[in-house]
Amino acid sequence: MSFIKWPFKRNKITYESDATIEVVPKHVAIIMDGNGRWANDQGLPRMRGHKEGMDNVRRIVKMASGEGIEILTLYAFSTENWKRPKSEVEYLLKLPKEFLNVYLPELIEENVRVKTIGHFDALPKHTKKAVQYAIDQTANNTGLILNIALNYGSRSEIVNAVQSIAHQVENGNLRPSEIEEATINSHLFTKELPDPDLLIRTSGEIRLSNFLLWQLAYTEFWFTDVHWPAFTEAEFSAALHAFQLRKRRFGGLKETKKE
């Protein structure tokens, strides 16, 4: 097997058997952590870390798009992040608008399609407005899907799914024995998306923090100590390279591209 370093020239590895395995993950999910610590390390206020983190999204989106990744899901604000001081919550929820104000034209030019997962309705009006505008403006784009997890929490996502399936049963539209994995999938925020192939978490924490608990069942994990604002193209490249070397078996004995 050849080892491909970024920038990738090809996105397939050919094995001796002539079988080809796609090596670029189709769906990459990132827990963008460590903005506060990054700022703290340089004696800057936490908000500065969030701002740098936001600018880094641009770099990473560009690279993801260039590498042929189809979906990039970014954890931007969790259902637990409301616990932070009000001023920080307000700042964090202003960032999508700031980001889109500056970068939406670039996203459009790159043929990126913006989507979100999470409890959208509970977001402040100004956040919803800016994000909805970006969703609408990019709705017909056919390139990278930039899927922003905003006010996202996996447990509440599953609770909502269970409630809505229970209603269907109550109304006589579904028998309990008819509930299968696909039923649950179809009630999640991610219903239109394949599960992530690769999960990246920056800043050294080895936990999921309520992110995509159902969807990550067979995802490859990659952790780095680097804080999100310092997560460069070279870091991303290292993660993609590590992914290429993973042998995904999905419970079977042979390496498989997909379940």
Does residue number 151 form part of the binding site for ligand IPE (CB under 6 A)? Answer: no
- Catalytic residue list contains 173: no
92 binds, among ligand IPE, Mg ion, none (CB under 5 to 8 A by kind): ligand IPE
Does residue number 52 form part of the binding site for ligand IPE (CB under 6 A)? Answer: no
In the complex, minimum distance from the CB of residue 238 to Mg ion, in angstroms, rounded to a whole number: 21
Does residue number 195 form part of the binding site for Mg ion (CB under 5 A)? Answer: no
**Calpha distance 26→258 (Å, rounded):** 10
Beta strands in the chain (DSSP E): 12-14, 20-22, 27-31, 71-78, 113-117, 145-152, 198-201, 220-223
Which tokens in the block code for residue 77?
């604000």
Q: Which of 24, 27, 33, 127 binds Mg ion (CB under 5 A)?
A: 33
Does residue number 96 form part of the binding site for ligand IPE (CB under 6 A)? Answer: no
Residue 141 identity (one-letter amino acid): N
The burial class, CB within 10 Å (0-12 / 13-18 / 19+), for 233 is middle
- Give residue 242's Cα distance to chain centre: 18
In the complex, minimum distance from the CB of residue 160 to ligand IPE, in angstroms, rounded to a whole number: 19
Q: Tell which positions 54-83 bind ligand IPE, by CB under 6 A.
A: 75-78, 81
- Catalytic residue list contains 81: yes
Instruction: Considering the candidates 81, 160, 185, 210, report the single residue annotated as catalytic.
Output: 81
Catalytic residues: 33, 81
